[in-house]
């Protein structure tokens, strides 16, 4: 078997909501999840397969910007992340994740609204599934997507974290700062 030249570096980051696992490639952050995410092992396996990469514990320059930006976000001073992202997935998943990046800080959209914006109004469940496959919590803000009736559903980090993140963004919506 040919040895891979691709490496995903892995580290742990502390946040007010618990420890998160981060993964980074030369291209950008490819994973940011809470440690108790049920599908975390499957996400790592998917990344290794998609990127034909090995995973190593270690530091990467993207981690320091990510930690700075997370600290500023949790302080209520950052609304948009600038850390480079690496989002391997299907074309549809990538379209859903790119659309997530357009949901304004402190705002919410429904899965139906997301599907409509993608010009796939009947693909609500597919949009929900792609949201669930998002590997970069908080930075790719899938927590801003809610059920059509406004209920908080489907957040891999736990509904209590989704509720906390939305309340946090609502409280800090007027403060703006950029890092970098």
Q: pLDDT tens-digit profile of 1-23?
A: 344 459 999 999 999 999 999 99
pLDDT (mean) for 148-155: 81
pLDDT of residue 1: 36
Q: What is the CB-side half-sphere exposure of residue 21 using CA atoms within 13 A?
A: 20
Q: Is residue 79 pLDDT above 90, yes or no?
A: yes
67 and 96 together in one domain: no
The reply to whether 163 falls in a domain is yes
61 and 102 together in one domain: no
Q: What is the CATH number of the domain that holds 107?
A: 1.10.10.10
The reply to whether 155 falls in a domain is yes
Among 46, 75, 104, the domain-final residue is 75
pLDDT of residue 5: 59
161-178 in b/e form (b: 16+ CB < 10 A) is bbeebbebbeebeeeeee
The reply to whether 24 falls in a domain is yes
Lowest-confidence pick of 59-73, 84-98, 154-168: 154-168
pLDDT (mean) for 74-90: 96
What's the total number of domains in the chain? 2
The reply to whether 178 falls in a domain is no
Among 49, 75, 101, the domain-final residue is 75
Active site residue 30: no
Q: Is residue 36 pLDDT above 90, yes or no?
A: no
Task: Report the distance separating Cα 36 and Cα 40, nearest Å.
Answer: 8
> Structural domain of residue 70, as residue ranges?
6-75
Task: Report the distance separating Cα 136 and Cα 89, nearest Å.
Answer: 12
Among 75, 100, 128, the domain-final residue is 75
The reply to whether 84 falls in a domain is no
Task: Report the distance separating Cα 136 and Cα 86, nearest Å.
Answer: 9
Q: Which of 142, 146, 165, 166 is catalytic?
A: 142
Cβ atoms 120, 126 nearer than 8 A: yes
CB-CB neighbours of 119 under 10 Å: 8
The reply to whether 130 falls in a domain is yes
Q: Please measure the distance between the N-terminal and C-terminal CA atoms of the chain and give it in whole angstroms.
A: 41
pLDDT of residue 65: 97
The reply to whether 1 falls in a domain is no
67 and 113 together in one domain: no
- Name the average pLDDT for the chain: 90
């Amino acid at each position: 078997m040919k040895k891979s030249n691709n490496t995903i570096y892995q580290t742990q980051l502390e946040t007010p909501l618990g420890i998160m696992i981060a993964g980074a490639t030369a291209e950008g952050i490819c994973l940011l999840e809470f440690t108790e995410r049920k599908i975390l092992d499957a996400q790592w396996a998917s990344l290794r397969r998609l990127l034909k990469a090995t995973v190593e514990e270690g530091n990467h320059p993207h981690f320091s910007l990510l930690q700075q930006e997370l600290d500023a976000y949790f302080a209520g001073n950052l609304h948009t992340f600038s850390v480079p992202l690496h989002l391997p997935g299907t074309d549809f998943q990538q379209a859903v994740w790119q659309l997530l990046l357009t949901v304004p800080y402190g705002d919410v959209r429904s899965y139906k609204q997301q599907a409509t914006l993608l010009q796939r109004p009947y693909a609500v469940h597919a949009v929900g599934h792609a949201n669930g496959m998002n590997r970069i919590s908080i930075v790719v803000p899938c927590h801003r997507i809610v059920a059509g009736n406004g209920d908080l559903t489907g957040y891999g980090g736990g509904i209590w974290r989704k509720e906390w993140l939305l309340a946090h963004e609502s409280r800090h919506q007027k403060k703006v700062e950029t890092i970098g």
